[in-house]
Chains A and B, each alone.
Chain A
Amino acid sequence: MDEILTYAQAEPAGAVTYAAADGLLSSVWLLVAIPLVSAAILLLLGRRADRWGHWLGVAAIGAAFVLGLTSFFQLRGLENKSVELSLWDFITVGNLRVDFGLLFDPLAAVFVLLITGVGFLIHLYAVEYMAHDEGRRRFFAYFNLFVAAMLLLVLGNNYVMLYFGWEGVGLASYLLISFWYGRPSAATAGKKAFLMNRVGDAGLAIGIFILFATLGTTQYDEVFTGVGGLASGTVLVLGLLLLLGAAGKSGQFPLQAWLPDAMEGPTPVSALIHAATMVTAGVYLIARSNPIFSANETLQLVVVSVGALTLLMGCIIGAAKDDIKRVLAWSTVSQIGYMFLGVGLGGAAYALAIVHLLAHGFFKANMFLGAGSVMHGMNDQVDIRRFGGLSKYMKVTWITFMMGWLAIIGMFPFSGFFSKEPIIVAAFEREGWTAWLFGGAALLGAGLTAFYMTRLFVLTFHGPKRWTEDIEHPHESPKLMTIPLILLAVGSVGAGFLLATSVPDWLTATAGLGGEHAEHAAVLPHWLLTALSLVVTVLGAGLAWALFRNGTATAPQPAGVLVTAARRNLYTDAFNEVVFEKPGIFLTRALVYLDNRGIDGLVNGLAAGVGGGSGRLRRWQTGFVRSYATSILTGALLVVAAFLAVQAGWLA
């Protein structure tokens, strides 16, 4: 792009254009390239890199973070806060042009900082966590690949690039979730994640095809400029497909089942998936595509409903789980539900969702790494009924986890308060009964979150010891693990306020974000909502404290209908099995039958025909020059005859 185009600010239906990147910003491609090259080196060098490979992996992400930070400051200095870097024409077919280009704008910039910043800390932590694993180098190669794919996803300037990153993330997550592929459960979890993601990816792919078909482009600027001209039915279908893709990656209803199973991977993987990469991709997709989602009211309603439903599901199931990582996983499902709620509300709430996403990145990474630290000290025990009283033995882990806990339940003045409470308020700022419905769901979710997270925290760190016999003296983790924890804890405390005050303004330069939106007065006054959300939080936390202060039984207890349902993931797995798996298996068998009998027969027949023809033709290749010459002569006569026939008009 030679010309510098001025940026039309915040007009969802208007023209969207990006300026060309120059100066230091023209090196944003390095953000993707550095981790990618590092991953390639680690994979190609093999065992030779075993001794230092992990440090290369850490250094690559560190370098990417520094580069991301400098680019961020560069971008801040620009008047037009969106720059595009076109590397080469990737696909040019007829009218379709797909650019291999990058877009660095405020939205991409905050994602880059989150991915590389939190990603760096998780990498650092993993050096120690994986120290005794034989596959550490391979682990870091996949880790770098994961980050590179995620960066490509958020930096692409068109949907095809996004899809590239999207698939890369899917691949890396598969490799990492089933990292300990020797365990059947890990291998199964990897496959489950991969397959569920495929469902979502298919939605995204079809969505991109619709863009091709209707707009003839997948460049963000052209799509957002053109989306206003599409029929509302098309926009609805397109949006639903994109939403399906987003739900797949972000573990939202109805594709949430893979996310808790993904805990089979090493704990740093869970942290990376839940905090910095992967699950945030869905939120990114919807935030990035906000001109599409804002163009259709029904679509927004669907997104909001998915968000609200998922956040409640996550809370309810999370409250019934006993595995420390699974509770955290369901809490992610629930928190991402809040973000979907935010992006679905549209207008200014987009920015709120992004703020929550960033804050969540800190405290969720904090808690996952904390959980890893606990497991490290407890012989890889994950059952919270078997913990208790760890606050005395693992001081750093305890304090840092506490910061994360206070942040996620939205206690003032921790970061969750500043990021979640505005979403709750925004949910109440709707028209009519939907305000009560979604606002109520968000509020109820806040209370439930406080309940189950407090349960987790209390059962782990307080109350009587309920350890298994083999553990005598749990130890605190080494420095390399606690330092990232401390840094993330600082983020859990402070990030919320900082982000909530700065990010919404910063994001206004992103196409459509923070754009015009019909404002409704909240159905309740703002102060009352704030007070209410704090009250339900305290109530939830207090209830959990009262119930679990004295520990809990170490064996499963008989439970009522709701708890049993929650323990079984609200029967969603059973539902999937009955509705999708069984008919799927039947369909597959039928198709295999058809394939074997019908299609294979046809194909094999054709192949046999070709093979037979080939065998017969081969006999003409006798090896005798005389027969070759005859063949050439025959051909020559035929060609001359054909030409003369054409000339005489016989063939015309």
Chain B
Amino acid sequence: MTELKLPSIDYPAIAPILIMLGVALLGVLVEAFVPRRRRHLVQLTLSLLAVLAALVMVVLNADARLVTAGGALAVDGPTLFLQGTILVLAAMSLLLIGERSVERGGAFVAQAAVTAESADDRQQAEGRNGATEVYPLTSFAIGGMLIFVAANDLLTMFIALEVFSLPLYLLCALARRRRLLSQEAAMKYFLLGAYASAFFLFGVALVYGFTAGIPGRSAGVDFATVHAAVSESPASDVLLYAGMALIAIGLLFKAAAAPFHVWTPDVYQGAPTPVTGFMAACTKVAAFGALLRVFHVAFDRAAWDFTPVLGVVAVLTMLVGAVLAVTQTDIKRLLAYSSIANAGYLLVGVLAPTGAGVSGTMFYLAAYGFSVLAAFAVVTLVRDADGEATHLSRWAGLGRRSPFYAGVFTFILLAFAGIPLTSGFMSKFAVFGPALESGHAWLVVAGVLTSMVLAFPYLRVVVMMWLSEPGESTPTVAVPGGLTATALMIGVAATLILGVVPAPLLDLATDAAAFVR
């Protein structure tokens, strides 16, 4: 009997993941053992501390460049940068999730099992404290995302995908108000997510088949093997291309690229707004982190072949996002389409086959995450007696009622539109520059043209807020609690600072742009 050889694990390097998952488990225990009225505080503190500890570990690991856990995880520059980004954005999301003073009891339903629209439901909506299960769920999702961007083989990547997707499906269903909409969103997200996972898994199987038979290597789905197989495998290329296509589809679904974006508006609209912000910021980082790794580490030698196809997907994504944003009447759906269009711009960065493309994409992810969280933070504040007022007509004249928040939202919209001196300008510049240098001018042209189209819906909101007279139905802006205010201020400050002095973060991203294989 041969002795089982355990793979060596570099624990400090994967400490951020372990901390998040460990605290998520701890959170489950807290649900069981801590008295109900203390749970909120304990859970929130615990999750925030975990994120902070994980962030500290990421910073301490800053110089790590290694592959560990039997080749399953790669801790390198992009991993650390993206993990850091996810953790910072997750901390802001947790602040939004933990807010309980804007709406009595928070944005989440007290008991998810209560039948929607029943008398019980109306009673719980009136102010019973929201479920605290959201914190362990969020921690699991964060942990999954941290694995997702570090995954060094396709199977680990798939597991991580599921680990962060499942809690998100649940979180989407937990809105305090408009619960049918919320549950419908969760259901759609779950069904389509499972559907997309199947594509991904099928793609992994095909690629596994493709890697069989390389001289001197056993078959496998780790990126080094896939990388070697692309040029050396004797198997039919059909396996490679079909597999690559299916894997891409699975990832593009999470990234909300057209034509796999269809779930986005419905889910963004139905989910509780803090969760929408979490998805728009952190899921995007995770999905594009995985796309970067798959296409820059595993399939990089096939760049000539995948670039045209994914380029078309990118252009289509920008077009769909921008054009459909024009006629939206709900602010959350508008932001959803804007997020789709931004996925298109991010793909432009992914397709630039240089370190500059990687660093530009990572900068874009960080900058966009801050802005979008700030935007959703404002959305949570604009409300009336029935909860958030998300219909755009209700925002008319908001500039008269609450000039400060209208001003903040205007600034964020200008950032989305890519006006100079905001992070939106710098990040577009950071992805379009490398693309131009790599000869993808057509992508940049499409990007600039759709940006112009996209500016219209943003400016329409600005015009509505400032130039319309407030009507009877114009809601007031709730005074934010400390948590929302903190998240909002961080987001706005980052949007401004990254627009004025982008150099430090750009340098950091540039230093972190090299993958290990």
A-side interface residues toward B, CB under 8 Å? 88-89, 92, 607, 610-611, 613-615, 617-618, 621, 623, 625, 627-629, 631-632, 634-636, 638-640, 642-644, 646-647, 651
Question: Across the interface, do B323 and A613 meet the contact criterion of CB distance under 8 Å?
Answer: yes
- Most chain A CB neighbours (cut-off 10 Å) among B249, B266, B306: B249
Chain A's closest residue to B250 (CB) is A636
Is there a chain A Cβ closer than 8 Å to B260's Cβ? yes
Distance A613 CA – B327 CA, assembled complex (angstroms): 10
Task: Return B439 CB to nearest CB of chain A, in Å.
Answer: 16
Chain A's closest residue to B265 (CB) is A621
Question: Across the interface, do A644 and B453 meet the contact criterion of CB distance under 8 Å?
Answer: no
Task: Name the contact of A629 in the complex, choosing from B191, B258, B503 (C-beta under 8 A).
Answer: B191
Give a binary string over B41-76; 1 marks a CB under 8 Å from any A CB, 0 the rest.
Answer: 000000000000000000000000000000000000
Distance A634 CA – B316 CA, assembled complex (angstroms): 14
Question: Across the interface, do B266 and A623 meet the contact criterion of CB distance under 8 Å?
Answer: yes
Is there a chain A Cβ closer than 8 Å to B262's Cβ? yes
Q: Knowing A610-B453, A643-B306 touch, does A628 contact B188 (C-beta < 8 A)?
A: yes
Q: Of B96-104, B129-137, B236-244, which stretch is located at the interface?
A: B236-244
8 A Cβ contacts from B336-360 to A: none
Task: Return A600 CB to nearest CB of chain B, in Å.
Answer: 15
- Chain A residues contacting B232 (CB-CB under 8 Å) are none
Task: Return B357 CB to nearest CB of chain A, in Å.
Answer: 17
- Chain B residues contacting A642 (CB-CB under 8 Å) are 245, 308-309, 312
Distance A629 CA – B191 CA, assembled complex (angstroms): 9
8 A Cβ contacts from B314-346 to A: 320, 323-327
Task: Name the contact of B245 in the complex, choosing from A607, A628, A632, A640 (C-beta under 8 A).
Answer: A640
Chain A's closest residue to B236 (CB) is A647
Give a binary string over B240-274; 1 marks a CB under 8 Å from any A CB, 0 the rest.
Answer: 11101110110001000011101101100000000
Given known contacts A632-B192, A647-B305, what 20 new A-B pairs fall within 8 Å (CB)? A88-B503, A610-B453, A613-B323, A614-B323, A614-B324, A614-B325, A617-B323, A623-B266, A628-B188, A629-B195, A632-B253, A636-B260, A639-B248, A640-B241, A642-B308, A642-B312, A644-B238, A644-B242, A646-B305, A646-B306
Task: Return B419 CB to nearest CB of chain A, in Å.
Answer: 15
Chain A's closest residue to B248 (CB) is A639
Question: Across the interface, do A618 and B324 meet the contact criterion of CB distance under 8 Å?
Answer: yes
Distance A332 CA – B248 CA, assembled complex (angstroms): 71
* Chain A residues touching B, majority SS: helix
Chain A's closest residue to B312 (CB) is A642
Distance A511 CA – B192 CA, assembled complex (angstroms): 69
Task: Return A622 CB to nearest CB of chain B, in Å.
Answer: 9
Task: Name the contact of B241 in the complex, choosing from A611, A631, A643 (C-beta under 8 A).
Answer: A643
- Chain B residues contacting A632 (CB-CB under 8 Å) are 192, 195-196, 249, 253, 259-260, 262
Chain A's closest residue to B187 (CB) is A625
Distance A613 CA – B501 CA, assembled complex (angstroms): 39
Distance A634 CA – B325 CA, assembled complex (angstroms): 23
Question: Across the interface, do A631 and B262 meet the contact criterion of CB distance under 8 Å?
Answer: yes
Question: Across the interface, do B308 and A610 meet the contact criterion of CB distance under 8 Å?
Answer: no
Question: Across the interface, do B196 and A647 meet the contact criterion of CB distance under 8 Å?
Answer: no
Distance A362 CA – B205 CA, assembled complex (angstroms): 85
Distance A643 CA – B207 CA, assembled complex (angstroms): 14
Distance A592 CA – B266 CA, assembled complex (angstroms): 43
Is there a chain A Cβ closer than 8 Å to B365's Cβ? no
Q: Knowing A614-B323, A631-B262, A632-B253 touch, does A647 contact B237 (C-beta < 8 A)?
A: yes
Chain A's closest residue to B196 (CB) is A632
Is there a chain A Cβ closer than 8 Å to B313's Cβ? yes
Q: Knowing A639-B249, A643-B244, A646-B308 touch, does A614 contact B313 (C-beta < 8 A)?
A: no
B-side interface residues toward A, CB under 8 Å? 187-188, 191-192, 195-196, 199, 237-238, 240-242, 244-246, 248-249, 253, 258-260, 262-263, 265-266, 305-306, 308-309, 312-313, 320, 323-327, 453, 456, 501, 503
Task: Return A13 CB to nearest CB of chain B, in Å.
Answer: 34
Q: Knowing A621-B324, A625-B188 touch, does A634 contact B241 (C-beta < 8 A)?
A: no
Chain A's closest residue to B316 (CB) is A635
- Chain A residues contacting B309 (CB-CB under 8 Å) are 639, 642-643, 646
Question: Across the interface, do A618 and B192 meet the contact criterion of CB distance under 8 Å?
Answer: no
Question: Across the interface, do B192 and A639 meet the contact criterion of CB distance under 8 Å?
Answer: no
- Chain A residues contacting B187 (CB-CB under 8 Å) are 625
Distance A615 CA – B329 CA, assembled complex (angstroms): 12
Q: Knowing A613-B323, A621-B262, A631-B262 touch, does A644 contact B241 (C-beta < 8 A)?
A: yes
* Chain B residues touching A, majority SS: helix
- Chain B residues contacting A646 (CB-CB under 8 Å) are 241, 305-306, 308-309
Distance A296 CA – B149 CA, assembled complex (angstroms): 61
18 contacts between A and B (CB under 8 A): A614-B324, A614-B325, A617-B323, A621-B262, A621-B266, A628-B263, A629-B195, A632-B249, A635-B259, A636-B245, A639-B249, A639-B309, A640-B241, A642-B308, A642-B312, A643-B305, A643-B306, A644-B241
Question: Across the interface, do B327 and A611 meet the contact criterion of CB distance under 8 Å?
Answer: yes
Question: Across the interface, do A643 and B253 meet the contact criterion of CB distance under 8 Å?
Answer: no
- Chain A residues contacting B262 (CB-CB under 8 Å) are 621, 627-628, 631-632
Question: Across the interface, do B453 and A636 meet the contact criterion of CB distance under 8 Å?
Answer: no
- Chain A residues contacting B453 (CB-CB under 8 Å) are 610
Task: Return A289 CB to nearest CB of chain B, in Å.
Answer: 27
Question: Across the interface, do A631 and B324 meet the contact criterion of CB distance under 8 Å?
Answer: no
- Chain A residues contacting B313 (CB-CB under 8 Å) are 639
Question: Across the interface, do B246 and A629 meet the contact criterion of CB distance under 8 Å?
Answer: no
- Chain B residues contacting A627 (CB-CB under 8 Å) are 262
Distance A320 CA – B258 CA, assembled complex (angstroms): 74
Task: Return A127 CB to nearest CB of chain B, in Å.
Answer: 31
Question: Across the interface, do A614 and B253 meet the contact criterion of CB distance under 8 Å?
Answer: no
- Chain B residues contacting A636 (CB-CB under 8 Å) are 199, 245-246, 249, 260
- Chain B residues contacting A638 (CB-CB under 8 Å) are 259
Task: Name the contact of B327 in the complex, choosing from A614, A635, A639 (C-beta under 8 A).
Answer: A614
- Chain B residues contacting A628 (CB-CB under 8 Å) are 188, 192, 262-263
- Most chain B CB neighbours (cut-off 10 Å) among A92, A607, A643, A651: A643
Distance A92 CA – B510 CA, assembled complex (angstroms): 15
Task: Name the contact of A92 in the complex, choosing from B191, B196, B253, B503 (C-beta under 8 A).
Answer: B503
Question: Across the interface, do B326 and A610 meet the contact criterion of CB distance under 8 Å?
Answer: yes
- Most chain B CB neighbours (cut-off 10 Å) among A611, A613, A617, A646: A646
Q: Knowing A88-B501, A628-B192 touch, does A651 contact B308 (C-beta < 8 A)?
A: yes
Question: Across the interface, do A611 and B326 meet the contact criterion of CB distance under 8 Å?
Answer: yes
Distance A614 CA – B324 CA, assembled complex (angstroms): 5
Chain A's closest residue to B203 (CB) is A640
Task: Return B403 CB to nearest CB of chain A, in Å.
Answer: 12
Question: Across the interface, do B188 and A610 meet the contact criterion of CB distance under 8 Å?
Answer: no
- Chain B residues contacting A92 (CB-CB under 8 Å) are 503
Which 6 pairs from chain A and chain B are nearest by CB? A635-B259, A643-B245, A628-B262, A643-B241, A614-B327, A647-B241
Question: Across the interface, do B192 and A634 meet the contact criterion of CB distance under 8 Å?
Answer: no
Q: Knowing A89-B503, A646-B308 touch, does A610 contact B249 (C-beta < 8 A)?
A: no
Task: Return A47 CB to nearest CB of chain B, in Å.
Answer: 16
Task: Return B72 CB to nearest CB of chain A, in Å.
Answer: 27
Task: Return A643 CB to nearest CB of chain B, in Å.
Answer: 4
Distance A625 CA – B193 CA, assembled complex (angstroms): 11
Distance A611 CA – B327 CA, assembled complex (angstroms): 7
Chain B's closest residue to A632 (CB) is B260
Distance A348 CA – B453 CA, assembled complex (angstroms): 57
Distance A617 CA – B312 CA, assembled complex (angstroms): 18
Chain A's closest residue to B333 (CB) is A621
Chain B's closest residue to A612 (CB) is B327
Chain A's closest residue to B506 (CB) is A92
Task: Return A90 CB to nearest CB of chain B, in Å.
Answer: 9
- Chain B residues contacting A639 (CB-CB under 8 Å) are 245, 248-249, 309, 313
Chain B's closest residue to A636 (CB) is B249
- Chain B residues contacting A614 (CB-CB under 8 Å) are 323-327
Task: Return A645 CB to nearest CB of chain B, in Å.
Answer: 9
- Chain A residues contacting B241 (CB-CB under 8 Å) are 640, 643-644, 646-647
Question: Across the interface, do B456 and A607 meet the contact criterion of CB distance under 8 Å?
Answer: yes
Distance A646 CA – B312 CA, assembled complex (angstroms): 13
Distance A617 CA – B325 CA, assembled complex (angstroms): 11
Task: Return A404 CB to nearest CB of chain B, in Å.
Answer: 44
